[in-house]
Amino acid sequence: MNARTVSGAGGLCCPVLHMSPAPAHPVLSAARATQSRELRVTPAWTQPGTPFRHTWEQVANVDQFRWMVRRDMQEQLELAQRELGVRHVRAVGMFDDEMRVFRPSPASFMGYESAAPRTNWQSMDYVIDSLLDRGLSPMFTTSFIPSALTSGPTTVFTTKGHTSPPDDWRAWAALVRESAQHAIERYGLAVVRGWYFEVWNEPNLHNWFWGGDKAQFLKLWQVTHNALKDVDASLRVGGPSCGRAEWIEDLMLFGAANNCRPDYLTAHVYNNDASVGEALAPFDGAQADRGSQSPNFAIGIMRGVRTQVDQLGHKGELHWNEWGRSFHGVDKRRESAAECAFIARLLGEVSQEADAFAYWCISDIYDQVGYGREAFHGGYGLLNLQGLRKPSYHTFQLLSRLGTERKPVPDFGVNALDGAIATVDASGRASVLVYAYQHDDVPVRQPLSVVVELPTGTKPGVIYRVDSMENNVVSRWQEMGAPDYLSRAQTAELQADNTLRASTSGVQVETINGRRCARFTMESPGVALLEIERE
């Protein structure tokens, strides 16, 4: 770490000038409001809708490529593919020394062969085979620099991935070229053309993820891009994957001038990314929202970047392949219902402004600045070390139960942090996801009464809630005494009650101003999904 405090920026760490400590575990029940609020949701069911792409299903993040040799990580990815619809898996470190892609032969130990490094794709093949067997495709991330090719001492993570520029650009190009050629030979060109190739990760974080300067990164981009295109011009190559969504314009202008345009663009942002003295990406929103204290900061950055790339004439995809409320490596609030509402609100606001929204990250199997000990320790993952579904995981399950046509919902006019997403699917089945967010470090639990106007000829169906108790494995763990190490029996007990469950408390049907409505209760902060059936 350099002189500035460094913390896990979406796992993929982000330096800041002034960083407050991670908040303590929120005491959600510290003060309960004495009076319930009412939310009135009146979707325009008869008006034309707009497409509602499930962009959050496109990519899932894993901390580092090395973890995918683990059976438990493979099982967690299989779960995410089956339950969340994940299609691609992104992880840095494909070329790390631990993956043995460029190391001497074991025969060199006794002098039987040269001690010069050679390529070896066995470990990489094992991981990619495991992904393909589970219906997943890799994000082919060309990082980091093997130690035998690095020009300097800069490393990242406790695992010491080498991040200085290559000392031999021709050798680097040959390594990248051979990796893609090998993949095509093994899996076939049609399969590999369906992957995404990503050049580096957060190169704007100097002496952390990148030991060079911007000019050296742009050279890395050009050399890597051209090496991949030499293998097959149709391979999709993207970047710059910068923290705080920086360097997008730099990459686009450089690519246009040097015949190495990105096929797709990648960017990262966390709602607490803003910091004094740091450049920020374009921002679309109120001036008051241009700081980390605003719940709208990440939303404003995402909208601003959308406008920027459109003005620059980008025709390919745009990926937010890391995002979240906080980049702090440990944040207990991340495992609360407030995180659920943050996720639903952000995707409700901007999920159609890009082609992929990869929340950071899928699993607590993670080691950038240390490996977690406690069963629930505020880690980045949607799944904990034992593969237990956190409340935030259930939120993505609810989002994926929504339809693909969105209907307008007027603002509630009470609290700008509350909202609803109303959709219909191809069969006409309607759903409404309601979220109630609180941005304070210690949210106050509050009961809400929700009234949803129903489409003609329908009735309420199943309702799901995710709050401080329902579909909340963390609260079950706390009731156990919050043991750091779960026993096998405790793990089995939590697993038995860890699937997404419909709420047992019912939904009332009533008529308001001549309109048939469904009334139910939920909690703030939290989310609730009402599925609607035809009569």
pLDDT-based confidence at residue 34 (cuts at 50, 70, 90): very low
Tens digits of per-residue pLDDT, 184-196?
999 999 999 999 9
pLDDT-based confidence at residue 35 (cuts at 50, 70, 90): low
Tens digits of per-residue pLDDT, 146-179?
999 999 999 999 999 999 999 999 999 999 999 9
Mean pLDDT of 453-472: 97
Burial (CB count <10 Å: 0-12, 13-18, 19+), residue 410: exposed
Question: Cβ of 394: how many Cβ atoms within 10 Å?
Answer: 27
* Residue 522 forms part of a structural domain: yes
Residue among 163, 142, 149 at smallest CA distance from 223: 142
**How, if at all, do strands 446-453 and 37-41 pair?**
parallel
* Residue 183 forms part of a structural domain: no
Q: Are 210 and 242 in contact (CB under 8 A)?
A: no
What integer pLDDT is reported at residue 6 of this predicted model?
Answer: 36
Is 50 exceeded by the pLDDT of residue 20?
no
Tens digits of per-residue pLDDT, 470-488?
999 999 999 999 999 999 9
pLDDT-based confidence at residue 25 (cuts at 50, 70, 90): very low
Is 70 exceeded by the pLDDT of residue 13?
no
Crossing angle of helices 169-187 and 214-231, rounded to 10°: 40
Is 70 exceeded by the pLDDT of residue 101?
yes
Q: Which domain holds residue 432?
A: 36-47+406-534
* Residue 396 forms part of a structural domain: no
* Residue 413 forms part of a structural domain: yes
Q: Are 359 and 323 in contact (CB under 8 A)?
A: yes
Burial call 295-327: b when 16+ CB within 10 Å, e when fewer = bbbbbbbbbbbbebbeeeebeebbbbbbbbbbb
Question: What tokens were used for 155?
Answer: 């490393």
Mean pLDDT of 451-465: 97
Q: Exactly one of 57, 198, 202, 470 is catalytic; which is it? A: 202
Quick check: is 470 catalytic? no
Is 50 exceeded by the pLDDT of residue 26?
no
Tens digits of per-residue pLDDT, 51-76?
999 999 999 999 999 999 999 999 99
The tally of domains found in the chain comes to 1
Mean pLDDT of 29-52: 80
Question: Where would I find the beta strands (DSSP E) of 223-338?
Answer: 236-242, 264-270, 317-324
Is 50 exceeded by the pLDDT of residue 32?
no
User: Cα–Cα distance between 232 and 235 in angstroms, integer?
Assistant: 6
pLDDT-based confidence at residue 467 (cuts at 50, 70, 90): very high
Give the highest mean pLDDT range of 17-26, 112-121, 324-333.
324-333
* Residue 114 forms part of a structural domain: no
Is 70 exceeded by the pLDDT of residue 450?
yes
What integer pLDDT is reported at residue 279 of this predicted model?
Answer: 59
Question: What tokens were used for 184?
Answer: 């095509």
108 or 41, higher pLDDT: 41
What integer pLDDT is reported at residue 530 of this predicted model?
Answer: 98
What integer pLDDT is reported at residue 59 of this predicted model?
Answer: 98
User: Cα–Cα distance between 442 and 422 in angstroms, integer?
Assistant: 29
Q: Give the CB-side neighbour count of residue 393, counting CA atoms within 13 A.
A: 31
* Residue 448 forms part of a structural domain: yes
Is 60 exceeded by the pLDDT of residue 12?
no
* Residue 106 forms part of a structural domain: no
Q: Are 420 and 434 in contact (CB under 8 A)?
A: yes
Burial (CB count <10 Å: 0-12, 13-18, 19+), residue 270: buried
pLDDT-based confidence at residue 4 (cuts at 50, 70, 90): very low
* Residue 373 forms part of a structural domain: no
What is the average pLDDT value for the chain, to the nearest integer? Answer: 91
Is 70 exceeded by the pLDDT of residue 31?
no
- CATH code at 475? 2.60.40.1500
Tens digits of per-residue pLDDT, 392-437?
999 999 999 999 999 999 987 667 899 999 999 999 999 999 999 9
Is 60 exceeded by the pLDDT of residue 11?
no
Tens digits of per-residue pLDDT, 232-252?
999 999 999 999 999 999 999
Is 50 exceeded by the pLDDT of residue 2?
no
User: Cα–Cα distance between 89 and 138 in angstroms, integer?
Assistant: 5
Strand partners, 459: 533
What integer pLDDT is reported at residue 278 of this predicted model?
Answer: 59
User: Cα–Cα distance between 395 and 83 in angstroms, integer?
Assistant: 11
Tens digits of per-residue pLDDT, 354-396?
999 999 999 999 999 899 999 999 999 999 999 999 999 999 9
Please enumerate in sequence order all residues whose Cβ is within 8 A of that of 318, keeping only pairs 6 or more positions apart, or say none. 264, 265, 266, 267, 305, 306, 309, 353, 354, 355, 356
Mean pLDDT of 30-56: 84
